[in-house]
Structure 1
């Protein structure tokens, strides 16, 4: 095993060096063969940017990275995400931090890769040295370092505020960049998608030159089920709307056909077709319906661009023809619908959960349940709305003061990975919570287990499942396996007599029946007769002491 590890490390080092050398040679070759391209790009950048650099992009990317590394404590290896989601309007911190928070390294790498590629295009259009009407605006440096990043952050807060349910990440702003850039440069935007994918692949190769994975049972949620479709569509539509307003003020010519085509291609490439539902643990993707939705979205955007790019300003009401009413509605109605639904879901509250054992951590309640209803409900003033709930099984974390209800680990994931840790906390503080599944599995496949929660050096059992029958009888005694409070035991029953004896690493005899644990198996027999396997030890804490 040690030799294999050393061999893998050597391969990784060679791969990293080889890839770095190839990239450097590619850059040098590109410059030597076409130096005019770099010089022309630098000249145009200096015309629009301070020092020819997209400083606003640098600032907003830096804010995301700093927040992720320090506020979310990514430098420790565990990412704190719970307090930085937009849970409810009773918890404004979530809406203010959600746009710059991320769920993990792949999440932030994906968002910032697209930001690095598309944000400079938007920043180029906006410029540091002129305002939207083409006149000189704020001091260029102030505009670059403060104005542009604040505008983009404002878009993120807007999308976070009206998202459907809890959200985290910069993707709402990324889709704003998509929508803005596609109006001015539709063909270039499609090409930039390829650049973005190539950039992600390069980063992945540099981060992990060699990756090994083992096939096995998986309880991972499908990637398309983690897409916040509402926030992405909202960001895209807002980006299109703002870009068209800027184009009209500057008298820019727009090609509606190309814009619509680019929106369709971009929507398919970026997963806007991911219309899905969930029924228990089954996720259903309506791909055909989603593609039709993207096509309709592209048509509506193209129509809006066609009409609005050549129409008088909104202030000239006498020229507001019926077709302009339709045109504005094609963009405004979807935005309003998304925002209204988001407003209603943002009023969600968490109902008190009774009859469960919980571990309290500064307002957070950590517990375990199976087939329990999600108690995050919609509370609309003056309306007695019936909550739309769904059932979940696993480790649940709730916080009534913040409107938080989420599953930290599913039942299936905890079975395959019986010891898991996650963070809870807030701005400036955190606590680590460890959850363990201590179990037994009978020879018939039945299971019995306890779920233990450890925090601040204190461990408590929050769930005990029923005993696991073995369908085995030894000397007239029926044998079951049970785990109670994390303690594994054998439960014997004959007639009205019941004995429950904790399992140990050594053999022991109860009522003439001898039990032995060997290589994780539990054997039972009488005297020197052949012992039958009645079960095995599973989960965490397999040392019986």
Structure 2
């Protein structure tokens, strides 16, 4: 089989755009628009192009490539310094809404933007809506300024708002993407549903061009619930901001949309975009999803949107108009979100010591360590208990602390490290990044627990630094009325033979194909397995952890 150079596209990669273009040409032939499509686009867009959307997409992509270092490491950009950790760390809340955790996160938000933002920009328009008005009469009506300045500036302001008024740290353009959805929804509800559906098609086409042939096989993987980590409050904030701005434009233009269409579109969008995924922590690695209340939340949001967007200027009671009540209905949940966000985002890490009892790796202000059962300083910043849940949450895993940047984060969970055995934590800032390596080694006792240890290695370190040792683990089997325990300490795994009174023997785990004797018990090692033998009885007592 002939191997093509990597820079030459495969036949499938060529066929995808050709098939799309040919099918569009056929549709145009069948529809015979006679220039109507172009005229309609040019009536709202300068030269028929949604320039503001393109400028916004290029801006977000530039942040990923050149600020987060994605150009040099596409799959593993710097993320920690570009989250909105606190009001006292401006770099975080300024760049968080335009930064992303990886290529999947970036592509997901940009494909949503490419699908929905043009519709929102079409509603916004590059030209004045009044007939006979000269578009170049003022700066605010100049189509060039509206396309290349006003719309992108509005996108940037909404992005910063989703960062400043979010409940705790966020990262990603999804809040702005939801704002596009909310803005377009109030004028073109069903078209917005179609646009959001098109986002999936755009993402699939992108992946098909990038990887036209994918080979997969069954495998075991570690994964949290798919809904864990969804910033629902950030999405809801962005959606409400978009709806509010859209309603204001509707009021100014005296336009109105049918209530049934708007309610239907709002419910469908809320369901399809998982706005119902309300979740919280319940322990270190357990989370609870309030799916039922999430559906109620989506329906309530649809009702508020419909009431606000369809209100007219007729008085409801006294001098209060229906539109004023509609705006109040939108402003009330926004005010509640802002009221919660301000005290949460004013909290600081301060001079908090590095969690855990082991040493940490220090890299230009960052402290990286491993700890278990420590209080999550960000989630537990304000102690609240409601409806059987609490913000007093503990966490275990690789912890990163930076007092100057107000960063306190679990970078790798205990469960993930136990599954993979190794991890890399990237720290950095604008223009620089460094990696701290983490590894875990352990032994699982048959019928008992697991004894393990964790090491760290900094970017300039030649050797690993031992940082954590778990408690001992005891085998379920007993031999000669004695139990066997593995006790980790200072980077070494020790075998202990226990009787009813006290520890009787101590030795290190032997190397492969070697043995060690603990009193009457002989310990043998075969590759990853440990066996104990006494008086002709031989049983397996432990297996070295295997990672994936």
Shorter-chain TM band: 0.7 to 0.9
In the alignment, is residue 356 of structure 1 matched against residue 344 of structure 2? no
Change (3 A) 1:15 1:474: farther
Q: CA 1:29/1:375 → structure 2, altered by over 3 Å: closer, same or farther?
A: same
Residue matched to 1:518 = 526
Q: Distance in 1 between matches of 2:220 and 2:295?
A: 32
Aligned to 1:216: 220
Could you say if the C-alpha distance between residues 322 and 536 of structure 1 is closer, same or farther in structure 2, counting changes exceeding 3 Å? Answer: same
Deviations 1:231-267 (A, max 9, x none): 2222222212212222232333433442232112211
Shift of 1:221: 2.4
Q: Give TM-score, length-normalised by structure 1.
A: 0.86
Which is worse superposed, 235-244 or 510-519? Answer: 510-519
Q: What is the number of residues matched between the two proteins? A: 518
User: RMSD between aligned alpha carbons?
Assistant: 3.2
Question: Does 2:503 align with 1:507?
Answer: no
CA contact (8 A) 1:449 1:486 kept: no
Q: Following the alignment from structure 1 to structure 2, what is the Cα–Cα distance between the partners of residues 501 and 22? A: 66
Contact kept? 1:507, 1:514, Cα under 8 Å: no
Does the C-alpha gap of structure 1 residues 249 and 419 become closer, same or farther in structure 2, counting only changes over 3 Å?
Answer: same
Name the structure 2 match of 1:438: 441
Greater mean deviation of Cα atoms: 41-50 or 424-433:
41-50
Mapped contact 2:507–2:518 kept (Cα < 8 A): no
Identify if the C-alpha distance between structure 1 residues 128 and 492 changes in structure 2 by more than 3 Å, giving closer, same or farther.
same
Given the superposition, is the C-alpha separation of residues 214 and 42 from structure 1 closer, same or farther in structure 2, using an over 3 Å criterion? Answer: same
Partner Cα separation in structure 2 for residue 141 and residue 27 of structure 1: 29
Counterpart residue number, 1:78: 76
Cα shift at 1:166: 0.7
Identify the range of structure 1 (106-115 vs 466-475) with the bigger mean alpha-carbon deviation.
466-475
In the TM superposition, what is the alpha-carbon distance from 1:489 to its structure 2 partner?
3.7
Q: TM-score scaled to structure 2, two decimals?
A: 0.85
**CA distance change for structure 1 residues 509 and 150 in 2, over 3 Å: closer, same or farther?**
same
Hey, what does 1:26 align to over in structure 2? 23
Q: Which residue of 2 aligns with 1:293?
A: 297
The residue matched to 2:100 in structure 1 has which SS? coil
Alignment partner of 1:413 out of 413, 416, 420: 416
Tell me how far 1:475 sits from its aligned partner. Answer: 7.4
Which of 185, 191, 208 is 1:188 aligned to? 191
Q: How many Å separate the matches in 2 of 1:70 and 1:444?
A: 52
Partner of 2:326: helix, strand, or coil? Answer: helix
Partner Cα distance (2:357, 2:366) in 1: 14
Taking the aligned partners of 2:96 and 2:287, their CA distance within structure 1 comes to 25
Report deviation, 1:476: 8.1
Conservation of the 8 A alpha-carbon contact between 1:80 and 1:424: yes
Aligned with 1:466 (options 463, 468, 471):
471
SS of the residue 2:93 aligns to: helix
Q: In the alignment, what sits opposite 1:60?
A: 56
Check 1:335–1:44 CA distance in 2 against 1; reply closer, same or farther (3 A cut).
same
Whether 1:533 and 2:540 are equivalent positions in the alignment is: yes
What SS is found at the alignment partner of 2:348? Answer: strand
Q: CA deviation at 1:519?
A: 2.9
What is residue 99 of structure 1 aligned with on the other side?
97
How far has the Cα of 1:83 moved from its partner? 0.8
- The structure with the largest helix share of the pair is 1
In structure 2, the partner of 1:384 is none
| Residue aligned with 1:225, SS | coil
Tell me: CA distance 1:414–1:14, structure 2 relative to 1, closer, same or farther (3 Å): farther
Distance 1:126 1:33 in 2: 31
CA contact (8 A) 2:452 2:469 kept: yes
Distance in 1 of aligned mates of 2:130 and 2:400:
46
Of residues 152, 163, 167 in structure 2, which corresponds to 1:164?
Answer: 167
